[in-house]
Amino acid sequence: MRRLRNVKIVATLGPASDTYETIRALFEAGADVFRLNMSHGSHEDIAARHATIRKIEADTGRPIGILADLQGPKLRVGTFVAGAVELEEGAKFRLDLDPAPGNDRRVQLPHEEIFAALEPGATLLVNDGKIRLQVEDCGKDFADCTVMVGGMISNRKGVNVPDVVLPVAALSEKDRKDLEFACQLGIDWLALSFVQRPADVEDARALVKGRAAIISKIEKPSAVKSFADILAVSDGIMVARGDLGVELPVQNLPPIQKQLVRGCRMAAKPVIVATQMLESMIESPMPTRAEVSDVATAIYEGADAVMLSAESAAGNYPIEAVQTMNNVAVEVESDPTYREVIESSRRVERRSVADGIVSAAREIAESAHIKTICCFTQSGTTAILTARERPRVPIIALTPLDRTARRLSLTWGVHCVKTEEQERFKGAVISAVRAAREHSFATDTDQIVVVAGVPFNVPGTTNILRVAPCEERLIYRSDPE
């Protein structure tokens, strides 16, 4: 099950990918991490999918990551007498707290917190930005607006408020219940929606209590402005281009994506590029040329992972979508220009012994034609720092911990292998040689680089490097000393 690419693929599960056979086919086609969307499906559905993934993991002997994506607070208008109305450009329209069904002059917006944050001149976007309203006057229970861009508005359409930081917690009551359920289930990554400020991440971390790593979804302009601070308190980032593309001009998205990916790479934290990557494959067995270029762009930028949403969860061609994404990744990474782009964008501030060790490992591996870098890791830090270097050779992460192996399945270029605990470095070298040979990364005539921390089984102690031959005699040595 060795992947012939470095970028990872996240596939969302749903009605179109709900059986053991389909999920296993998705994994074999190239999915490295499965996303459980907490916005859809009951807890029973989520638990069943989780159990299926773990069975596939056991059957294939390869660690698989599971990401639970929280819904976040949903801001929506109320209902209309006729179910929907057409708003004309230039017309006046009021949003208020009155629960009475709306008409072409007003509708309920049952969110006091929005009115508390609004100011005249603010913009409100309805129905994924198709309707644009400008606030002319507002109070604690109303907002009188002018329709800047008209269109059809119907029951319970979503509302975006791009201009202000809302006094809304990132975790709704539903999210808190889903968070606890997902953590008890044993997920590896938790994606947090509606992040506006670092405090949102810290609130979630207090509830997670170390049971999962936290990915902050960057989908609001306020999160872009506070990105450095949000990144500092997050374990990873998702560039969630859906709501971000609604609340910001679409032409802003490409440079923002590049900036976010670059920032994550420098911080050695995994970054996922998501939303509409192969959208047309929901209904078509072939993607558009523009979609292929979009996926390729994220790979050229050095993103850790690219994600499929409805394509694999509800589309007609879930397996084909994963295969397409895999094929694009293999082709892009075989392009000489890919290495030029990756290496020209490698900007790492090396401030510790661990930084120096992994940098040396990359340089030695590339200059001496060594086949792979093997990292012994307890918390995953050694492998993540090695991946930050974006080496030309594969990375094998050896760990005795299931949770570490599963989390690392999201990290660029890392092939995870579960191994026994080690007490001495020579024993670790033997295990590394065995893994490199058994997983077809090296042969008897090759060499590998082994990176580890001494003392073993202590997180954050990366301090030793060795070049070792992959000789068969090493595998069968009874005395590691």
> Is cis: bond before 255, omega within 30 of 0?
no
| Residues annotated as catalytic (active site), given as ranges | 35, 76, 217, 275
Q: Cβ-count burial of 255 within 10 angstroms (0-12 exposed, 13-18 middle, 19+ buried)?
A: exposed
- Residues 468/431, Cβ–Cβ less than 8 Å: no
Give the span between the Cα atoms of 262 and 265, in whole angstroms.
Answer: 5
Q: 467-474: long-range contacts at Cβ-Cβ below 8 A with a sequence spacing of 24 or more?
A: 467/364, 467/368, 467/370, 468/429, 468/432, 468/433, 469/433, 470/371, 470/433, 470/436, 470/437, 470/442, 470/443, 470/444, 470/445, 470/446, 471/433, 471/444, 472/437, 472/444, 474/429, 474/430, 474/433
Residues 6+ apart with CB under 8 A from 354: 381, 382, 385, 453, 460, 462, 463
Residue type, 410: L
Tallying the residues shown for the chain, one arrives at 481
Give the span between the Cα atoms of 283 and 292, in whole angstroms.
Answer: 16
DSSP secondary structure, 9-36, as one string: EEEEESTTS-SHHHHHHHHHHT--EEEE
Residue in the structure block whose two tokens are 């923002």: 256
DSSP secondary structure code for residue 205 in this structure = H
Region of 250 (left: φ > 0; alpha: ψ -120 to 50; beta: rest) is alpha
Backbone torsions φ then ψ of 12, nearest 5 degrees: -80, 135
Q: Strands 142-149 and 92-96: what pairing?
A: antiparallel
